Amino acid sequence: MTGTIAVLCGGMSLEREVSLRSGGRVADALADRGYHVQRVDLDAELVRTLEQGGFDACYLALHGSAGEDGTIQSLLELLGMPYTGPDVLASSIAWNKPIAQGLYGRSGIAVPDRVSLSQQAFREMGAAAAVDRIAGSLGVPVVVKPATGGSSLGLTIVTDAARLPQAIVGAFSYADAVLVERFVAGTEVAVTVLDGQALPPVEIHPKEGTYDFAARYTAGATEFHAPARLDPEVRVACEQVAVRAYHAIGARHLSRADMIVDSDGVPWLLEIDTCPGMTSTSLVPLAAAAAGLDLEDLCVQVVNLALRDGAVR
């Protein structure tokens, strides 16, 4: 079965260019399978375009705010249009890392010790004077990141407690709150979950530094292993964590869990991406390939899941 699909991409977030690349690959993959495809940007004509386009479903290839925080999902539900990926509630939960991590922890998933701090508390309530207590509580190194957002934008690994205030202020450039986590040393692993089933984990090794924005989207900057080079029992543990987290937030269709596997083989969940990248350097297509799915098959499966579930009411 084929149909007419709107591939939503672009928008005005800091991840616009990555979203356009993801959307382009998804659109080409679906067109290759016989779908009628239109790429649709998030602009002032969006509602008119969707209402008049005769679309059977929307494929969300959006990254960053509006695309992953529940905003577009809420609009599509108002319009009665089927769409891919988690619904409003699941998207909103995953987008807010402190809330999501609290939920994962309550579900028995290992998450790093952490402190969340709002910009208002930092600037208007004197919390800046208590920053030294964060280092005293979590130790160093710590990871400082915006409480919302993706692609490692605004992320800093702090190895000197004296540099913690600067890292926090830097993260405030990307969000109104920051998350400071205990640093977990180990192997970076990503596990894609497709309709409740884990695909083979992908192991991530940046050739220089950390897996930051440049390492994510620069061809050749990172070495990937799919499936990950993990002991069988550790691989199963990673897959179980990803699936448990998927269900903990009520996700559907497709998500990607990012985690660190420590020296004892324990997977520590960092976050879930509810609208993961589909670029040539993205992790989900690598996981799908390791499972025997090419990009075209993967995109068709995700569209079929959206059509199966229909419009959310």
Cα–Cα distances in Å, from 81 out to 55, 84, 176, 229, 310? 8, 10, 31, 41, 7
The CATH class of 114-182 is alpha beta
What's the confidence (pLDDT) of residue 235?
A: 98
Kindly give the pairing relationship between strand 267-273 and strand 254-261: antiparallel
What's the confidence (pLDDT) of residue 214?
A: 57
Dihedral sign computed on CA atoms, order 105, 186, 62, 241: negative
CA 161 to chain centroid, in Å, comes to: 28
CATH topology of domain 93-110+185-292: D-amino Acid Aminotransferase; Chain A, domain 1 (3.30.470)
Query: What is the C-alpha R_g of the chain?
Result: 19
| Contact by Cβ (8 Å): 13, 67 | yes
What's the confidence (pLDDT) of residue 22?
A: 97
Residues of the chain with CATH 3.40.50.20: 4-85+302-309
What's the confidence (pLDDT) of residue 151?
A: 60
Q: Give CA angle at 242 (168, 268), nearest 5°.
A: 45
Residues of the chain with CATH 3.30.470.20: 93-110+185-292
The CATH class of 4-85+302-309 is alpha beta
Question: Which phi and psi angles does 190 have, rounded to 5°?
Answer: -125, 135
What's the confidence (pLDDT) of residue 119?
A: 87
Closest alpha carbon to 187 in 201, 205, 199, 207: 205
How far, in Å, CA of 194 to CA of 217, rounded? 23
How far, in Å, CA of 39 to CA of 13, rounded? 17
Q: Which residues contact 109 (CB under 8 A, 6 or more apart)?
A: 241, 244, 245, 248, 269
How far, in Å, CA of 296 to CA of 206, rounded? 27
C-beta atoms surrounding 1 within 10 Å: 9
Residues of the chain with CATH 3.30.1490.20: 114-182
Instruction: Give per-10-residue mean pLDDT for the chain (313 aa).
Output: 91 90 98 98 94 97 91 96 97 96 96 93 78 88 90 86 91 93 96 98 82 60 91 98 98 98 97 95 96 97 96 70
C-beta atoms surrounding 139 within 10 Å: 12
Q: Which helix (H) or strand (E) holds 242?
A: helix 232-248
Q: Which residues contact 194 (CB under 8 A, 6 or more apart)?
A: 253, 254, 288, 298, 301, 302
- The pLDDT tens digits for 92-135 are 999 999 999 999 999 999 999 999 999 898 877 777 778 888 98
What's the confidence (pLDDT) of residue 222?
A: 82
What's the confidence (pLDDT) of residue 26?
A: 98
Cα–Cα distances in Å, from 62 out to 26, 48, 72, 262? 11, 19, 9, 31
Closest alpha carbon to 41 in 82, 81, 7: 7
What's the confidence (pLDDT) of residue 211?
A: 58
- The pLDDT tens digits for 260-301 are 999 999 999 999 999 999 998 899 999 999 999 999 999 999
pTM of structure: 0.93
Q: Please give the torsion angle defined by the CA atoms of residues 136, 141, 145 and 150, in that order, rounded to the nearest 10 degrees.
A: -150
